[in-house]
Structure 1
Amino acid sequence: MKAKYYFLKAVFWLLSKIPFWFYHGLSTLLGFFFIKFKLYRHKVVMDNLSKSFPDKSEKEIKEIAKKFYYHFVDLLIESIKAFSFSKRTIKKRYKINTSPEIQKLLDQKRNLAITLPHFGNWEWSAQGFNFMTDRNQPFGLAIYKPLKNKVMDKLMKENRTRFKGSLMISKDHVYKEIRKRQEEHIIVGFAADQSPNNPYNSYWMQFLGRETGVFYGVEKFSKQFDLAVVYAHVKKVARSRYEIDFELIAEEPNKTTYGYITEKHMRLLEADIYKTPHLWLWTHKRWKRNKPSDYKQKRQS
């Protein structure tokens, strides 16, 4: 395992040194092949888009899919490039705009829950959020689902936390890690837009015109640990260049009603998707589970 780890680490580092201009040319070529030969979950992408945008024509759906695959391949090469990013590079290519409202919370040493969906580029967030402010920078906890391949899992964790000030935590250890560090100044990153495994532990709502099960973790943990909830709007301003704007959802989460935080961050994502639909991760089988007929009875029991 050690030999494989060091070999792959060296390979990824060498690949990461290839300049962006070359990768963007390669990405354009690969994107063409993805579209031309309908590679990688093409049916899933087309089905998701068609059902999410029933008013759009077949031509419009195909155009969104085309733009999505070009962006998707860009995202793959961006993941590789991050293996040798300097602080200067990540700050330039993943620019974070901290509003006075959010800076005020940071100056107060408030702990934050940041909802960052699979929109634009989420791969650079663990590195980029290390530099979200010039003063009172919190320690970052990024929640993730461990990879089955232990070598790749280790490489991914090391790469995303190369800069001091952040830690990748398994989704199964969220409560333990937040509780251990709640007296520190922390931000907790949630990617809460994918499909929950357990439909009974989901919050069900209308999303993109369909009944959708949503992770309730952002709301649950923000109330449990008094985390001010912030949504991250991600804009792709150019190839491999992003800007992030934060929007405050709830400064005092325990004063919100049940479902407010969950509904709010999903509504903000929905609005972002309607603006630039090709930047969301359409390859995910988002609606593979339906709301159980006995959901209410089991939730109340």
Structure 2
Amino acid sequence: MQIDVLGTLDVRENGVSIAPTAPKPRQVLALLALHADRVVPVAALVDELWSGRPPRSVRTTLQTYVLQLRELITLALRSPGPDTGIGAGPGFGPASAAPPPSSGLPVPSVPSGPSASPAGSVRRGAKDVLATVPGGYLLVSGGGTSDVREFERLAGLGYRAMDAGEHKDASRLLGEALLLWTGPAFAGVPAGARLETEARRLEESRLCALDQRIEADLRLGRHRELLAELTVLTSRYATHENLHAQFMLALHRSGRRGEALDVYHRLRTTLVRDLGLEPSPRLRRLQQSILVAAPETPPPAPSRAPAVLALPAARARAGVRPV
């Protein structure tokens, strides 16, 4: 199974999408996919779908959504799969596994549970992929891929490289982790309370990885290369102090001290106006160090440049544990 939630929800079994278009079943699949190979309690699904106001027929309704997902899984399992060149490619629906009516051959029935293949081996049924277990449901990935787990793996390796001073490796690994994101988490899914919380957690993890990738690039002396990216990021995250601090450093080390100070003043204006807060002491110290620096003062060597703002707490909050 291939599970992608860092962008538009896409879950594929046997190379065929099992993502429904109906909103409620889509929510169910999103929560199950995020927690693949772990039991999702019925109570969690009910809370996600109805936010504390479930209908009287809540269990029957939830079972209906699960049945709809299993029907899609069954169609995916009957497909020949992507390796055959038919059935799973563009222009072919899952039902293309069945012989055409004109062939004169009987249309095979689709098993809902395990069955014996011609070779005598047991193949999975829909109830094996989406299993009912005591207290909830379990989406079995069968050792497949998950973009969230791959993101967390690469980010963890990137943090380890960063802590070891291996900034080139850190930049590469964190960059690879960030490339897994194709949009906001669970894009296109009408999220309830639980998915909204998970989406915020994942976004914090993404920002933490982004921050540390930029920090690694600053350590490598890639100041000018970062300017365009940081221009966009500081506009998008108008109160994110660390991104502004990195932008200030990149500008200053590119010989644009006045613009670096302008970035500080814009951030301070936004913080005071919108949040009633002054910039942090660390950011004020950075502003002062740029203010008093002589124009001809060379930038610090990348290998000795201190981190702008250390982020161990941010990593912990983001749910991506540094290794």
TM-score with structure 2 setting the length: 0.25
**Which has a greater percent of helix?**
2
TM-score with structure 1 setting the length: 0.27
**Which has a greater percent of strand?**
1
